[in-house]
Amino acid sequence: MKMIRMKYKILLAGILVIMFSCQKMEYTKEYSWSYPLSGEWALQIEYGGSVDAGPYFIKVYNTSFGQDSVWIDDNGNIWPFKAKAKADMKTLTFSTTDYTSMPGTNYEDIVTIKNGKVIQKDSIYFETEFGSDPGTIYKMYGHRASSYEEYNEPH
Cross-strand pairs, 103: none
Task: Give the H/E segment covering residue 49.
Answer: none
Mean pLDDT within 40-65: 87
CB-based contact 54:41 (threshold 8 Å) = no
- Per the model's pLDDT, the better-predicted residue between 20 and 108 turns out to be 108
- Per the model's pLDDT, the better-predicted residue between 26 and 69 turns out to be 69
Task: Give the H/E segment covering residue 17.
Answer: helix 2-21
Ordered by where they begin, the domains of the chain are 39-146 (2.40.128.220)
CB-based contact 29:148 (threshold 8 Å) = yes
Q: How far is CA 28 from CA 48, 89, 125, 147, in A?
A: 46, 21, 30, 16
Q: What is the pLDDT of residue 142?
A: 92
